[in-house]
Structure 1
C-alpha cells in the first residue's frame, strides 16, 4: 500500500510489480545460481543450502509462470535455466550484489573508524 503523498504512477507500479516477484525469499538466489548454467532441482537445492523442497518447487513454478525460468527435460532429467527475460535482469542483480557488498564494507569501516 502506498503512503500518502508517495508517487503511485506507472514507474512506481512497475517497481512494485518487480518487487512482488524478486522480493520473495530465495528468489534472488535462485536466479543468481542459474546465471551461468541450467541446473537440476537437487543441484540447485544443494547450491542454495537450507531451502525446503516445497519452497524451491514453489519458487521455481512462480518464476516459470513469470517467464524468468524455463524448465527443460534433457535425457529424462528436468533442468531449470534462465529465460532471455531473466538474462536481462542479470546486470541489475549483479549490481544489487555489488551495492550490498559496498554497504557491508561501509558498515565495517564505520565501526572501525568511529
Structure 2
C-alpha cells in the first residue's frame, strides 16, 4: 500500500477543481474525440452526439482556458475554427482512457451492486 500523504486543504481544493473539469462527462467525450486529431466545431459536435451547441462551446472554452485545447481560427469566409489537444490535453487522454475502459469493463458489476443495495433498502 502507498504511504498516505498528510492532509493539505489547499491540495484538496486544487485536486477538486481539476477533477471538476476533467470529470465532466462532456469533457471526457470531447477530449476522447480530439485524441484522434484536430476537428472543427460541427465535426466535433456530430462526433460527440447529444451535446448542445451551447454546452460544446462552454466545454471547449473551459478546456481552452485550462490549457487542454487550442483553438485556431483560419481567415476564410466563413471563418474556419479548429480545435486540437495541447500536450497537456494529450497527457490527459491516458487517465481518461483508463477510466473509460474501467467503466466499460465494470458496468455490469456496478449495476448488480446497485440492484443488491436497492433490494436490501426496500426490505
**TM-score of the superposition, structure 1-length normalised?**
0.78
Counterpart for residue 59 of structure 1: 59
Q: Which runs of 4+ in 1 moved over 3 A?
A: 7-11, 105-111
Counterpart for residue 86 of structure 1: 89
The DSSP-based 3-state class of the residue aligned with 2:35 is coil
Aligned partners of 1:96 and 1:25: how far apart in 2?
12
> 1:107: how far off?
4.9
User: Alpha carbons of 1:105 and 1:75: their partners in 2 closer, same or farther (altered >3 Å)?
Assistant: farther
Aligned partners of 1:106 and 1:9: how far apart in 2?
34
2:31 matches 1:31: yes
Root-mean-square deviation over aligned CA pairs: 2.2
**TM-score of the superposition, structure 2-length normalised?**
0.73
Unaligned runs of 5+ in 1: 1-6
Counterpart for residue 100 of structure 1: 103
Unaligned runs of 5+ in 2: 1-6, 116-123
Deviation per residue, 1:61-85 (Å, 9 max, x gap): 1111111110013463110010011
Between 8-17 and 43-52, report the one with greater CA deviation.
8-17
Counterpart for residue 4 of structure 1: none
